[in-house]
Amino acid sequence: MTSDTRRGPPTAGSERETLRAFLDYHRATLAMKCEGLTDEELRQRSMPPSTLSLLGLVRHMAEVERAWFRRVFEDHDAPMVWSDRIDFQAAYDASASTRDEAFAAWEAEVANSRRIEREAESLDRTGYQPRWGEAVSLRMVMVHVLLEYGRHNGHADFLREGIDGTVGA
């Protein structure tokens, strides 16, 4: 991995600034865990029968970003990226995927999520979560997605260590 260029969250920022910064920090962490690896290394699976890989995590987080920002606040019927139905597990199978494909989708969804958040007047803005059948606030969505990144960045730590021994950060 290259040097750590992530920016940490403010120590005394507003609620919104803090949530935004933590999300961006975790997004940058996932990207950092993938730095310097070949497509083959990014597709390396954790252990059978799991299809979990770093590239699979990037694909999964593209789905998470889409499901929690685009589908909640813009288009409840937007299709998932790698599944005909709402199947988050499908994204984990990156056996035929490439860095370029996965990162292009993920980066596009992150950019869309950032735009939605920036354009919202407040964290109290509500959208409709079609899977739950109820309204959810932008605040709840940001916390939920942040928790997803935290969980999966833990997986990314172990996956990266298994590939080349790199640990930390």
Is residue 84 within 8 A of residue 39, CB to CB? The reply is no
Structural domain range at position 138:
16-164
Is 1 within a domain?
Answer: no
How far is Cα 110 from Cα 58, in angstroms, rounded to an integer? Answer: 11
Is 9 within a domain?
Answer: no
Is 58 within a domain?
Answer: yes
User: What CATH number is given to the structural domain containing 56?
Assistant: 1.20.120.450
Q: What is the pTM of this model?
A: 0.94
To which H or E segment does residue 152 belong? helix 138-164
The domain tally of the chain equals 1
pLDDT attached to residue 143: 98
pLDDT tens readout for residues 11-40: 889 999 999 999 999 999 999 999 999 999
pLDDT attached to residue 1: 57
pLDDT tens readout for residues 83-112: 877 777 788 889 999 999 999 999 999 999
State both tokens at 20: 């935004």
How far is Cα 168 from Cα 5, in angstroms, rounded to an integer? Answer: 14
pLDDT tens readout for residues 38-77: 999 999 998 888 889 999 999 999 999 999 999 999 999 8
Is 136 within a domain?
Answer: yes
Is 110 within a domain?
Answer: yes
pLDDT attached to residue 87: 73
What are residue 121's phi and psi, to 5 degrees? -65, -35
